[in-house]
Each structure stands twice: as C-alpha cells, then as structure tokens.
Amino acid sequence: MESGSADGTNMRDTILVTGGCGFIGSNFILQRMQADATSVVNLDKLTYAGNPRNLESIANNGRYEFVHGDIGDRTAVRQLLTRHEPRAIVHFAAESHVDRSIHGPDDFIRTNVDGTFALLEEARAYWSGFPEQDRQRFRFLHVSTDEVYGSLGPNDPPFRETTQYAPNSPYAASKAASDHLVRAYHHTYGLPTLTTNCSNNYGPFQFPEKLIPLMILHARDGKPLPVYGDGKNVRDWLYVEDHCEAIAAVLRNGRASETYNIGGWNEKPNIEIVETVCDLLDEMTPSGKDSRRSLITFVKDRPGHDRRYAMDGRKIERELGWKPKETFESGIRKTVRWYLEHEEWVRDVTSGGYRQWIAMHYSS
Ligand code: NAD
Ligand code: TYD
C-alpha cells in the first residue's frame, strides 16, 4: 500500500472525522470534499442522530470512506489510524441534545467523556510513533460548545476563551470534561490539539429534536410549537456552513494547544426564532388559515435552563480571519426551504427512534 506524500511526511492527506453522519459532521464532510483534495474517513456509531443518507451524494467518491464504529472501541480506532495514516482527527462524535442528557445522562458520559478519552489515548499512541517533523504537523481538533461556560446575565459580555468553565447540564458537563482531557493531553504529552467552542448551529441535516427544525416541522404540520418557559432564553445562532468553514480555518492555521470561540454575533430570544419560522412558513406555504404563530404554546421550562449564551469571536477573526458570512435572515430562509424541499429525508429521520423519544418526552 502506498504510504507517505511528496513533502516527505509519513502521514497522508487524509483526515479522520468522528461523528460525520450527524448534523455538523455531515455538513463539514460535504463542504471539505468540495473545497479541497483531502480524503476523509468517517467513523460513526450511527446512533439515532447519525444518518448515513446525509452523505449519499459522496458515498461512491474514492476520497471518502465510511466506517461504522464507536470512538470508544480502541481496537477499531487503532486499526483505522494504522490503516489510513491521517494527518488530523476532527472529533465531532458526541451525544449532543441537552434534553436527552437530562433524561438519561449515561450515554453522554460514555461517549463524550470515555469515548473522547479512548480516542485521545489512541491518537497519542499513533502520534508518538511519528518522526519529529510529523509529530508537529499532526492535529487533534476537538469540536466543542459554548455551553461549557454556563449562563450569562443580560448585561454580561459574551464568553471569551478565558471565561471560566461553569457547565450546568449533564451535556455541558460532559463536553467540559472532554475539553479538559484534550487540554491535558497537550499539556502533559504535547499532543498538538485544537479546541473549538461554538454557539448554536442551524441549517440542513439537523435532527428535528433541536429548536429550529422541530419548529419548522411542527409548524408545517399544524402541530403545537412548544416554547420552554417564557421564551426569552437567548442563544447565539450560527449557520452550520459558517461553523464548518471556521473549523477548517482552525485546522489549517490554528495554533496547536489553542482554543477558539466561534459564534454568529447573532443573539436572539427563542420566541423571536419561533415567530420568524412561523412567518416564513406562512409566506412559503400559505395555509389559508390563521398564522402559524397561533400554534405557539408555552410549556414547562427545561430544568436548569441556561438563560443566555453569546460568543466573543474576536480571537478567531483576528488570528485566522474568519467571521460568519451568512446573515440570520438569509440562513433561516435557506433552512426553512431546505426542510420543505427534503420531505423524504424528514420522513426517514422522523420514523423510529425519534417518534419514541417524542412520545416519552412529551407524554407528561
Ligand atoms: P449530532 O447529535 O447531530 O451528531 C452526532 C454524531 O455522532 C452522530 O452521527 C452519531 O451517530 C455520532 N456518534 C455518537 N456517539 C458516537 C460514538 N460513541 N462513536 C462514534 N460516533 C458516535 O451532533 P451535532 O449537532 O452534529 O454536533 C457535533 C459536535 O458539535 C458535538 O460534539 C457537539 O457537542 C458539537 N456542537 C454542536 C452544536 C450544535 O448546535 N449542534 C454547537 C456547538 C458544538
Ligand atoms: P436546543 O436546540 O435544544 O439547543 P440548546 O439547548 O443546546 O441551546 O434549544 C435551543 C433553545 O430552544 C433552548 O433555549 C431551549 C429552547 N427550546 C424550546 O423552547 N422548545 C423546544 O422544543 C426545544 C427543543 C428547545
């Protein structure tokens, strides 16, 4: 088997992506396959959130390979690293839904903490065997969230890379733990790590348990739109393709061991997001009846619900020249249209596990 590349490195122009069948991972892979000549190996366990159909369009591309497996399976990870000799690992795989973490945190600890630990251990063993030149070039990029910083008051400045961690949900705590492990693997062993902490994403392929796709599909179908609490919790929304470009920029030029906050400079209360979705559906698929806004139903709040998130993205802009391209107005319009035009995808993901979850979650 051919090994090495023209510039003398033993690593190939291949990246190992974990969790690439999920929302952000599949957008990232599709974008990268278009943007450059890198090969991608995608390791995904295919939990309820993983949908290989997201990557149907590249399934036969010689630069793409899907491997069904768990990041916690160290033998499988070791074999993959030895076989593909990647120059980087981009680690998306996680349990990612706060509400699920409240009802059943076990999987969050297993994948986000133990799984990340297993991946780091195998990455360290793989990387330790390199000659010095390759050791410096290798990257372990860990994709994380703004939720590790906890909740902001109405007048607090946005989260910076130096903001103290204060995770409030089991999801946020599991991601914070994984961030700390990544940090320690650089500090202790010298593994060239990068960590990105990003705000709420929206766009194509997002599983309809999260706010925006859930509201689009409920509004389309004339179902109640469950807004938690008073609807005034604030999130900083970023279009997913912007997030993927930010990750690519960090992978290319980020300084090893650094963390980069990524956000949309786009803080909005939930109720405003839901009203916007309603108005877009009224415009794109007029129902002839009342506005979809009449479907808005305030429901019991999420326990421990963080009030406000906002990201200070000045470091990544200053160091790497990245800032979001999409405005919220254009991004949300594209997103609503995408869900309306991808009925088959929606049918696929809303059958099975998703329905059971909804039944369990909303039965009370
Ligand atoms: P997602 O839930 O849509 O996808 C997660 C993917 O990981 C799925 O394909 C799933 O099958 C896979 N996976 C889960 N456990 C696995 C395991 N043990 N081994 C291998 N694969 C496994 O998540 P997402 O929204 O695409 O988020 C991706 C990453 O980005 C996560 O680490 C998340 O914490 C982070 N993040 C998400 C957001 C957001 O708004 N969605 C914002 C900031 C950061
Ligand atoms: P979500 O998409 O679950 O992301 P996160 O909790 O990671 O921020 O939720 C975004 C916001 O929307 C959050 O404040 C919770 C709220 N929300 C609702 O009001 N109703 C819903 O049905 C959902 C899923 C979320």
Q: Average pLDDT for residues 77-90, to the nearest whole number?
A: 98
**CATH 2.60.120.330 assigned to 14-200+240-263+305-325:** no
Q: Average pLDDT for residues 21-27, to the nearest whole number?
A: 98
What is d(CA 30, CA 192) in angstroms, rounded to the nearest whole number?
A: 25
Distance of CA 187 from the midpoint of ligand 1 (Å): 25
| Domain boundaries defined on the chain | 14-200+240-263+305-325
Question: Ligand 1 site: residues with CB under 6 angstroms?
Answer: 18-19, 21-25, 43-47, 49-50, 70-72, 92-94, 96, 111, 115, 143-145, 175, 198, 200-201, 207
147 in catalytic set? yes
- Predicted confidence (pLDDT) per residue in 139-157, tens digit: 999 999 999 999 999 999 9
Distance of CA 224 from the midpoint of ligand 1 (Å): 27
Ligand 2, atom 23, residue with closest C-alpha: 211
- Predicted confidence (pLDDT) per residue in 161-203, tens digit: 999 999 999 999 999 999 999 999 999 999 999 999 999 999 9
| pLDDT at residue 10, rounded to an integer | 65
pLDDT band at 8 (very low <50, low <70, confident <90, very high): low
Among 6, 11, 40, 13, residue whose Cα is nearest residue 130 = 11
| pLDDT at residue 231, rounded to an integer | 98
Contacts of 211 (CB under 8 A, 6+ apart): 200, 235, 270, 273, 274
- Give the CA distances from residue 101 to residues 94, 136, 161, 225, 327, in Å, rounded to whole numbers and listed in that order: 11, 36, 25, 21, 31
Residue 38 has pLDDT above 50, yes or no: yes
Across the chain, mean pLDDT equals: 94
Contacts of 304 (CB under 8 A, 6+ apart): 102, 168, 169
| pLDDT at residue 329, rounded to an integer | 98
Question: Ligand 2 site: residues with CB under 6 angstroms?
Answer: 98, 200, 210-211, 214, 226-228, 233, 235, 270, 302
CA–CA–CA angle 107, 80, 175 (5° rounding): 30
Percent of the chain with pLDDT over 70: 94
326 in catalytic set? no
What is d(CA 344, CA 350) in angstroms, rounded to the nearest whole number?
A: 10
pLDDT band at 56 (very low <50, low <70, confident <90, very high): very high
333: helix, coil or strand? Answer: helix
What is d(CA 29, CA 63) in angstroms, rounded to the nearest whole number?
A: 11
Q: Average pLDDT for residues 36-41, to the nearest whole number?
A: 95
Task: Give DSSP secondary structure letters for 227-246.
Answer: EETTS--EEE-EEHHHHHHH
- Predicted confidence (pLDDT) per residue in 298-332, tens digit: 999 999 999 999 999 999 999 999 999 999 999 99
What is d(CA 171, CA 148) in angstroms, rounded to the nearest whole number?
A: 9
Residue 361 has pLDDT above 50, yes or no: no
- Give the CA distances from residue 41 to residues 59, 165, 243, 264, in Å, rounded to whole numbers and listed in that order: 11, 32, 20, 29
Ligand 2, atom 5, residue with closest C-alpha: 98
**Pocket perturbation via mutation, ligand 1, pick of 29, 41, 73, 92 by most ligand atoms within 8 A of CB:** 92
Q: Which helix (H) or strand (E) holds 326?
A: none
| pLDDT at residue 353, rounded to an integer | 47
pLDDT band at 260 (very low <50, low <70, confident <90, very high): very high
Higher-pLDDT residue of 233, 3: 233
